[in-house]
Amino acid sequence: MFDDVLSTTLTFITGFGSGLYVGIASGTAEPFIIPLITVVLGSSIYNAIGTSLFVDCIIGLIAGLVFFRKGHVNIKPVILLGVSGVICSLIGSYFSTETPESNLKLLIAFVLILFGYMLLRGGIKKNVETINEKVNFSRFQRHKQLSFVLFGGLIGFASGFTGMGSSGSMTIILIFIMGYSLHQAIGTSLLLMFFIAGAGSSAHSFQGNIIFQTALMISLGAAIGATVGSLFANRIDEDKLGRTIGVIIIILGSVFLFDVLIKYI
pLDDT band for 2, please (50, 70, 90 cuts). Answer: very low
CA–CA separation, 153 and 160 (whole Å): 11
Comparison of pLDDT for 67 and 88, the residue scoring more: 88
165, pLDDT greater than 60: yes
pLDDT on residue 199: 93
**Average confidence (pLDDT) over 28-45:** 73
**Average confidence (pLDDT) over 48-74:** 87
208, pLDDT greater than 70: yes
CA–CA separation, 134 and 109 (whole Å): 23
pLDDT band for 239, please (50, 70, 90 cuts). Answer: low
pLDDT on residue 87: 94
Comparison of pLDDT for 49 and 240, the residue scoring more: 49
CA–CA separation, 166 and 156 (whole Å): 7
CA–CA separation, 22 and 85 (whole Å): 18
CA–CA separation, 94 and 46 (whole Å): 11
pLDDT band for 234, please (50, 70, 90 cuts). Answer: low
pLDDT on residue 241: 66
- Condensed to tens digits (0 to 9), the pLDDT of residues 176-187 reads 888 888 788 888
pLDDT on residue 196: 93
Considering only 25-39, 138-152, 180-194, which range has the smallest mean pLDDT?
Answer: 25-39
pLDDT band for 66, please (50, 70, 90 cuts). Answer: confident
251, pLDDT greater than 80: no
Considering only 63-72, 83-92, 93-102, 217-226, which range has the smallest mean pLDDT?
Answer: 93-102
157, pLDDT greater than 50: yes
3-state secondary structure the chain: CCCCHHHHHHHHHHHHHHHHHHHHHCCCCHHHHHHHHHHHCCCCHHHHHHHHHHHHHHHHHHHHHHHHHCCCCCCHHHHHHHHHHHHHHHHHHHCCCCCCCHHHHHHHHHHHHHHHHHHHHHHHHHHHHHHHHHCCCHHHHHCHHHHHHHHHHHHHHHHHHHCCCCHHHHHHHHHHCCCCCHHHHHHHHHHHHHHHHHHHHHHHHHCCCCCHHHHHHHHHHHHHHHHHHHHHHCCCCHHHHHHHHHHHHHHHHHHHHHHHHHHHC
pLDDT on residue 1: 47
59, pLDDT greater than 70: yes
Instruction: Supply the Cα-derived Rg of the chain in whole angstroms.
Output: 17
Query: What percent of the chain clears pLDDT 70, i.e. is strictly above it?
Result: 76
Comparison of pLDDT for 101 and 219, the residue scoring more: 219
